[in-house]
């Protein structure tokens, strides 16, 4: 397992803008998509590609094409904010969905929805903006592996060390791609400094 913090000025710029409490939902969604694009470019840079050729308007040109399909599995609901970027980058992506809800008393996840495509022939990316306790991420990775995924990576906006430790213990082979590893969790199991409740900020459902 490896934790890959994307070291790029654009990633830092987008992340700080996301952290800003004054960022409105519409801009928050746009920033999430842009930052996910940066993360996915990094997370896919070592995927094997095969030699291919096309005809340009002038002559033949050789290059590379991805060998195997891409699968994206956002964890509902916050993971939906990351999905558009993946679909834009990989138009032929297969998309699955996992609904995991955290018990606010125990902080443990429970599954309420699952719809997953074929994965045994693909590169699978689990999308969750916040790797906090690691419970939802571990459960999600377990589900996609149970469904046949042979290769899985986790893509997050920010992570807590506690969540990384839990995911590493449950699935030691999984690589994590993120924009930041934050200080830790508070007493309510929110990442600090973090971004607050990502789903609420994404969809404009924060309590007033």
Give the pLDDT of residue 208: 46
What is the mean pLDDT for each group of 10 consecutive residues in the chain (208 residues)?
Answer: 92 96 95 97 92 94 89 92 95 90 64 87 95 92 94 97 95 96 93 92 75
Give the pLDDT of residue 89: 94
Map tokens 């022939």 to a residue: 121
User: Given 3.80.10.10, 3.40.50.2020, 3.90.70.10, 3.40.50.300, which CATH number is that of 3-45+68-203?
Assistant: 3.40.50.2020
In the chain, what are the helix, strand and coil shares in percent, each to the nearest 5? 35, 30, 40
Helix then strand count (H, E) for the chain reads 6, 15
For 14, other C-beta atoms within 10 Å of its C-beta total 23
Q: Domains of the chain: which residue ranges?
A: 3-45+68-203
CA distance 98 to 119: 14
Residue 58, class by beta-carbon neighbours within 10 Å (0-12 exposed, 13-18 middle, 19+ buried)? Answer: exposed
Tell me which residues are annotated as active site.
102, 106, 197, 200
Give the pLDDT of residue 105: 61
CA distance 61 to 78: 41
Question: Rounded to 10 degrees, what is the CA torsion of 81, 160, 172, 33?
Answer: 20
In terms of Cα–Cα distance, which of 159, 154, 160, 158 is closest to 173? 154
């Amino acid at each position: 397992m490896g934790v890959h913090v994307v070291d790029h000025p654009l990633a830092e710029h987008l992340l700080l803008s996301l952290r800003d409490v004054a960022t409105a939902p519409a801009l928050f969604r746009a920033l999430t998509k842009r930052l996910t694009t940066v993360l996915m470019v990094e997370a896919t840079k070592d995927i094997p590609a095969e030699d291919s050729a096309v005809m340009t308007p002038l002559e033949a040109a050789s290059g590379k094409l991805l060998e195997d399909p891409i699968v994206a599995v956002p964890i509902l609901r916050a993971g939906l904010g990351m999905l558009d970027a993946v679909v834009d980058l990989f138009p032929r992506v297969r998309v699955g969905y996992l609904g995991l809800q955290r018990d606010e008393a125990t902080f443990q996840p429970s599954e309420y929805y699952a719809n997953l495509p074929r994965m045994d022939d693909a590169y699978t990316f689990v999308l969750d903006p916040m790797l906090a306790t690691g419970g939802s991420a571990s459960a999600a990775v377990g589900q996609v592996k149970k469904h046949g995924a042979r290769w899985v990576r986790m893509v997050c906006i920010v992570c807590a060390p506690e969540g990384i430790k839990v995911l590493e213990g449950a699935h030691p082979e999984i690589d994590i791609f993120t924009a930041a590893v934050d200080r830790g969790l508070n007493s309510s199991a929110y990442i600090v400094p973090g971004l607050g409740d990502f789903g609420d900020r994404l969809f404009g459902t924060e309590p007033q």
